[in-house]
Structure 1
Amino acid sequence: MTTFEGIPMARTPAGHTLVNATIDEIHEKSLLRKSLRRFDLVFFLICTVVGLDTIGAVAKNGAQGFTWLIFLAVVFLVPYGLLMAELGSTFPFEGGPYVWCRLAFGRFVAALVTVLYWCSNPIWLGGTLTILAVSAFSDFVTPLHGPAEVVFALAFIWFAVASAIVSFRFGKWVPSVGAFVRLAVVGFFTVSVLLYAARNGVHGFDAPAFAPGYAVFIAVVPVLIFNYVGFELPSSASEEMVDPRRDVPRTIAWSGAGAVLLYGLPVLAILLVLPASRVTGVGGFLDAAKEVLTVYGGTVSPDGTVTLTGTGKILGAVTAAAFIWALLSSGTTWIMGADRAQAAAGFDGAAPRALGRISPRFGTPVTVNLLSGVVSTVVMLVAFRLSGGSADRYFTIALGVAISTTTMSYLGIFPTLVRLRRTHPDEHRPFRVPGGMTGAWIAGSLTTFWAVVATVWLLWPGLGVDWFGASGNPDQALPAGIGRAAFELIQVVPVVLLLAIGVLFYVLGAPTRTRRAAPGEVSATDERGMAPDER
């Protein structure tokens, strides 16, 4: 063992040498604290993968939404889980996706990918999660308008940011409690649907309703891909885990099985209670919950208006509070993980050095956390203004931007498995995707294919519905009241802007890249092996 500027150093177990590691990286990693155990990771992943915000967006496509949910669980979720289990256990380094891209394709590509990956989350927090929280409070507690709506949204956003700032020792309880809340909400909702069905009957659907169709396929696939991603997120905090090599593959398996169940049950329940024509993206889960809660007290008028009374009203308020907490824990968890990936880029020289600061007090990337809060606040204010008071329009626009930036980032993450199999063949792999290189190619190709498909259909909704003699109007896939030109502008401009920011971040990271640690040495907490020709 040797030391470099007073910090313990060692070679990697696999015999690789650390090339182009920065002095800043070594210093910042010395401030990290190990506090994530297997128990924490299971609930962290449940909060990451199972989001209640998009259940309505799936259910509004009718029974076909459930068909495609199961289909993508097989052709996307399974290979995706295998891929992330290998990467997360083989390369357990702070920054996760950033490090994998950096190892596979170099700092510049990693800089672009990480900006998309990071910034999609404050867009999501300030967009879809905030409007759903506002809607839940307005529908079940008291209506929010004007300044009250903005104050509530600000409190929602900055509580999530504050939870990401505090030490993982305390902050990890937000996703842990959020996971339990999810289980309680979905369980209570499902039981209430059974009681509702026994008393009032159900809307129901026949077998042909599950038959797949192209128009629904292209509408629901991007949302389902967005639902299922997140297995890599805890790996952004790998060096804060107690035993990532053992825990990552197991927790991915458990949370993957739970994700299918926790998405499938409420989607089916919503379709049993409400006809697809009455389900909206923003209100699907909330509208169905409100109607089934009438079994405890309340009425449904002939025009579908629901009024809760007595116990039903009390349970409605409790359900809304639990729903808001579930949304909050989703946003907090993603901010925690994605911000660490961006911080890793900062202390590695692929972003401004200031973004790579780890707080000595909390052991968290406070600067990036605060920047995420600022971005979320701006997105919220802009989206409120652009939506013209339409919650559903705001939800659709914000969700589209959040999903497209997310899926584009995975275009740089998914291919790293095959690349790292070739460039780092001697790394110890506690878990391998079965089937050797063929299995790696299948997992990498399937996941990348679906990321491409989701991105294309998000950037151009309705693509292909009028091809090959098929009937339909592609513009019907657009949000109501928004033309094609306006929609494309709203979707494309943020992507171009984020890519430009990625280039700028890389340029601003140049001074950090010059402060290299001694060749052939690596901090005792970092077992990463890098190829000598890596840029």
Structure 2
Amino acid sequence: MSDIKPKKKFKLFSAILTVICVVFVAEAAAPVAAIGNSQYFWWIFLMITFLLPYGLIASELGTTYEGEGGIYDWVTKAFGHRMGARTAWYYWINFPLWMASLAVICPELIRIVTSQTPNTLVSLLIELVFIWVIVFISFYSVSDSIWILNGAAFIKVFLALLVGCLGIYVAVTQGVANEYTLASLLPSFDMKSLSFISVILFNFLGFEVVCTFAPDMENPKRQIPLAIITGGLVIAAIYIFSAFGIGVAIPTDKISTSSGLIDSIQLMLGNSGGILVAIVAFLFLLTLFGNMVSWSLGVNNTACYAAENGDMPAVFAKRNAKTDMPTGAAVMNGVVASAIVIIAPLLPNEDLFWSFFALNLVMFLLSYIPIFPAFLKLRKIDPDTERPFKVGGGKGFHYLLVTLPIILIVTSLIFIAVPFDFSPETLGEVLPITIGSIICLIVGELIITVKKIKK
């Protein structure tokens, strides 16, 4: 008899909360608010042109092709193993980069909570503890960790509502921080605005992670589309409300690209300490754990599934004999993220959060490009498979659903990773992202080539 324990199943409400936990990313709020009043235009515009098409396509593919492979499985079925391998690599490598970007802001959050400034060694230990606690939790099934995901979702909603309400209160009692005119609400299409659009796209991504949890659901064919649609509507409302609170209460030039939620609360209250700021910092730290746990479960499943199909290194295919969880991928997350935070003090860029986060963005967005044409290809080559949720409309509408997100992703990638001038400031900020992206791409191609030679 097998030693693998039967998995518990989770219900629709938990699936909706999981969508919120996965997709809603509190730490990405500041760069968007830094765009200025035109952020509202970009929120609404990208909800229509990206979030809607992506949610519809993910719902159809996720309910049609259930399993732990997620986007790797969809792309492989449509375009073959080589493209599937690239997608799996980009999708996986972004995660330890993201985990490292969040780890480097943990010491500052601890400082706010405890009013004690950790030294360099203690800061590094805090970062490593953050990373390896997440790795350890991801050894267990998502249904065993559902209380973490649900709790993180509730905390995220609470913090977003707190920021929105506090911002409105400050605006009413002290005056609106930014001038609201028709011209200021319209997009300026300047370099700053366009480079931060990628952060909004990042805030919308993650629906496919819920699809990899299908084996843990009671009725995935019903739960997946309902969770995506309901969760997507809630997330859109939360984003706009919290963005409005920040926009009316804080001058745009005072918003930072690092730990923006805490900065926002501090600026609204007019002080850098106090019990409320400490509570918010602690709750924010908890949401970071929730976010990483939810994403690790989906990313690890995808990397493991790809490795089992020969498209990722064999170490990613290692599973726990009792829980059947992908422990190999989880440990590799920890190894890579740990290496990054250890060498981080040697890097010249002062804003390490943005450097790692932007590199994570590049690889993450790259992994999504093949999903949209895969939707069309699978409709063509696999028309007879039952589609419990099927996107309506004709071919013209489907091509529009596919084309718009691809254009937005490619545009975002260009503005993140390509330096448009050669000033020392631009090169210092963008060039490390460019070089890091090229290195990740080369390593991925080498892995794919080696795997194909072995086959």
Question: Given the two structures, how large is their TM-score scaled by the length of structure 2?
Answer: 0.92
Relative to structure 1, the CA distance from residue 444 to residue 104 in structure 2 (aligned partners, 3 Å threshold; closer, same or farther) is same
- Aligned to 2:186, which of 211, 223, 226? 211
Relative to structure 1, the CA distance from residue 354 to residue 494 in structure 2 (aligned partners, 3 Å threshold; closer, same or farther) is closer
Q: 1:118 and 1:380 mapped to 2: Cα distance?
A: 18
Give, in angstroms, the shift of residue 433 of structure 1.
1.2
Matches within 5 A, 1:407-426: 407-426=365-384
Matches within 5 A, 1:71-470: 71-127=45-101, 129-141=102-114, 142-207=116-181, 208-215=183-190, 216-292=192-268, 294=269, 300=270, 306-308=271-273, 313-387=274-348, 390=350, 393-462=351-420
Give the % identical residues: 23
Q: SS of the residue aligned with 1:165?
A: coil
Q: How many residues align?
A: 452
Map of 1:297 onto structure 2: none
Q: 2:301 and 2:433 mapped to 1: Cα distance?
A: 32
Give, in angstroms, the shift of residue 357 of structure 1.
2.9
Tell me which amino acid in the other structure corresponds to 2:185.
F
Q: Is the 8 A contact 1:90 1:427 kept in 2?
A: yes
Q: 2:403 and 2:295 mapped to 1: Cα distance?
A: 25
Q: Is 1:70 aligned with 2:44?
A: yes
Q: SS of the residue aligned with 2:438?
A: helix
Relative to structure 1, the CA distance from residue 502 to residue 259 in structure 2 (aligned partners, 3 Å threshold; closer, same or farther) is farther
Tell me which amino acid in the other structure corresponds to 1:145.
N
Q: Is 1:49 aligned with 2:23?
A: yes
Unaligned stretches of 5+ in structure 1? 1-5, 7-26, 295-299, 301-305, 463-473, 511-535
Give, in angstroms, the shift of residue 248 of structure 1.
0.9
Q: Is the 8 A contact 2:416 2:430 kept in 1?
A: no
Give, in angstroms, the shift of residue 79 of structure 1.
0.6
Map of 2:435 onto structure 1: 489
Cα deviation code 1:270-294 (max 9, x no counterpart): 22222111111104321111133x3
Relative to structure 1, the CA distance from residue 456 to residue 194 in structure 2 (aligned partners, 3 Å threshold; closer, same or farther) is closer
Relative to structure 1, the CA distance from residue 206 to residue 376 in structure 2 (aligned partners, 3 Å threshold; closer, same or farther) is same
Q: SS of the residue aligned with 2:187?
A: coil
Cα deviation code 1:45-104 (max 9, x no counterpart): 111111011100111111122321211011110011011010011111221111111211
Tell me which amino acid in the other structure corresponds to 1:433.
V
Give, in angstroms, the shift of residue 113 of structure 1.
0.9
Tell me which amino acid in the other structure corresponds to 1:131.
V
Map of 1:519 onto structure 2: none
Q: SS of the residue aligned with 2:248?
A: helix
Q: Is the 8 A contact 2:91 2:367 kept in 1?
A: yes
Q: Is the 8 A contact 1:123 1:398 kept in 2?
A: yes
Tell me which amino acid in the other structure corresponds to 2:96.
P
Q: Is the 8 A contact 1:112 1:503 kept in 2?
A: no
Q: SS of the residue aligned with 1:170?
A: coil
Q: SS of the residue aligned with 2:369?
A: helix
Relative to structure 1, the CA distance from residue 415 to residue 199 in structure 2 (aligned partners, 3 Å threshold; closer, same or farther) is same
Relative to structure 1, the CA distance from residue 486 to residue 188 in structure 2 (aligned partners, 3 Å threshold; closer, same or farther) is closer
Relative to structure 1, the CA distance from residue 374 to residue 133 in structure 2 (aligned partners, 3 Å threshold; closer, same or farther) is same
Q: 1:99 and 1:486 mapped to 2: Cα distance?
A: 32
Map of 1:468 onto structure 2: none
Q: Is the 8 A contact 1:219 1:461 kept in 2?
A: no
Q: 2:233 and 2:88 mapped to 1: Cα distance?
A: 28
Map of 1:465 onto structure 2: none
Tell me which amino acid in the other structure corresponds to 2:266.
K
Relative to structure 1, the CA distance from residue 126 to residue 484 in structure 2 (aligned partners, 3 Å threshold; closer, same or farther) is closer
Q: 1:338 and 1:486 mapped to 2: Cα distance?
A: 25
Tell me which amino acid in the other structure corresponds to 2:444.
L
Relative to structure 1, the CA distance from residue 507 to residue 65 in structure 2 (aligned partners, 3 Å threshold; closer, same or farther) is farther
Cα deviation code 1:382-410 (max 9, x no counterpart): 3332146x2xx212211111000011111
Relative to structure 1, the CA distance from residue 499 to residue 36 in structure 2 (aligned partners, 3 Å threshold; closer, same or farther) is farther
Give, in angstroms, the shift of residue 439 of structure 1.
3.1
Give, in angstroms, the shift of residue 426 of structure 1.
0.5
Tell me which amino acid in the other structure corresponds to 2:13.
F
Give, in angstroms, the shift of residue 188 of structure 1.
2.1
Q: 1:506 and 1:145 mapped to 2: Cα distance?
A: 47
Map of 1:504 onto structure 2: 450
Unaligned stretches of 5+ in structure 2? none
Give, in angstroms, the shift of residue 32 of structure 1.
7.1
Relative to structure 1, the CA distance from residue 417 to residue 321 in structure 2 (aligned partners, 3 Å threshold; closer, same or farther) is same
Q: SS of the residue aligned with 1:383?
A: helix
Give, in angstroms, the shift of residue 336 of structure 1.
0.8
Give, in angstroms, the shift of residue 147 of structure 1.
0.8
Relative to structure 1, the CA distance from residue 203 to residue 126 in structure 2 (aligned partners, 3 Å threshold; closer, same or farther) is same
Q: Is the 8 A contact 2:359 2:433 kept in 1?
A: no
Q: 1:196 and 1:227 mapped to 2: Cα distance?
A: 26
Give, in angstroms, the shift of residue 254 of structure 1.
1.0
Q: Is the 8 A contact 1:133 1:327 kept in 2?
A: no
Q: Is the 8 A contact 2:177 2:249 kept in 1?
A: yes
Query: Would you tell me which structure has more helix in proportion to its own residues?
Result: 2
Give, in angstroms, the shift of residue 475 of structure 1.
5.3
Bigger-Rg structure (1/2): 1
Relative to structure 1, the CA distance from residue 229 to residue 503 in structure 2 (aligned partners, 3 Å threshold; closer, same or farther) is farther
Map of 1:12 onto structure 2: none
Q: Is the 8 A contact 2:8 2:216 kept in 1?
A: yes
Relative to structure 1, the CA distance from residue 399 to residue 485 in structure 2 (aligned partners, 3 Å threshold; closer, same or farther) is closer
